[in-house]
Amino acid sequence: MSWPTYSATQIASSDIRRAFFKCLKWQVEETLDPFACPFHYYCETISPAADYPSWVDVLVILFAAASFLVTVIVMVLEASSRGGKRLVKAKQYFLPSSPLSLSVTILVLSQGHSINSLFPISCIGPAVLQLVHIAALGFDHDASQDIKYVIFQTSTVSGILHASLYLDSIILPYYTGYDALVTSSFSGECSTCVCRRDILVVGGSSVTYRAWSVTTFLVVSSLCLRIMSRAAQEGQKIIRVSKTALETVSLALLAWDSIHLLRNSPPEKLLLQRAAFGAELALICTFILGRIRVAMRKQLDAA
């Protein structure tokens, strides 16, 4: 028995996307043909959320693009040691990890099942969350008071965790449906009835990216160590070393996630996805090179 693959045109069709990509619960049932159809599945529950008009998608993609540009500008200003008070305000209010921008991100992801026409959140959502991770790791808030600093960082941690949960609620059904579509054969019993050789797992097996992951855990841990470093009276050196190590590993995992999504993303809006993940990968590499340059400069000054 041959297991078909589907073209981008077929996958992008509204009927298939609605039935497979927005299926919230797949049901397995007994099969009378254990050789040709070892596992028989059908979609039991499809997301009832109606799609918003296309202008909402346009606003979301403009917000994501603006967040990326702000991140690049702030990174350049910090590298050149210019900007002064304007740079501080930009970091506090306009970076993707700032409370204002992060609140908008959470709102967007919480409505992700309905943002599904021109720029589906199931496609661009991972890039939006990764940008928040990069900004949170790359830029530290400047606050004159410790309590203000703690509030800023705590709100960022809470926002990242909420955003991760909302994103997983969107992409896990999407990846599950994609796996059900491209690695199964239609049985003909119903519009979503498929035969499979193996068990269908939540999130599928084609794309391993998850918003609630080790990467998110390490990013959040890095931010918590920043709070401890600001508040602790003793053990500053150990905390700083641990924070630096966690931030480095987190950036490496973010780069790995971007590479994985570049290579394994479903073919819906493929050009947009590749542009987003490629740009973020370049941003991560630029930031890492900038850190290496600063470290080398400090060593030369010390010598």
Q: What is the pLDDT of residue 7?
A: 44
Q: What is the pLDDT of residue 9?
A: 44
Q: What is the pLDDT of residue 205?
A: 85
Q: What is the pLDDT of residue 8?
A: 43
Q: Is 270 exposed, middle or buried (0-12, 13-18, 19+ CB in 10 A)?
A: middle
| Structure confidence by residue, pLDDT tens digits, 196-223 | 888 898 888 888 999 999 999 999 999 9
Q: What is the pLDDT of residue 256?
A: 93
Residue ranges for the chain with pLDDT beneath 50 = 1-12
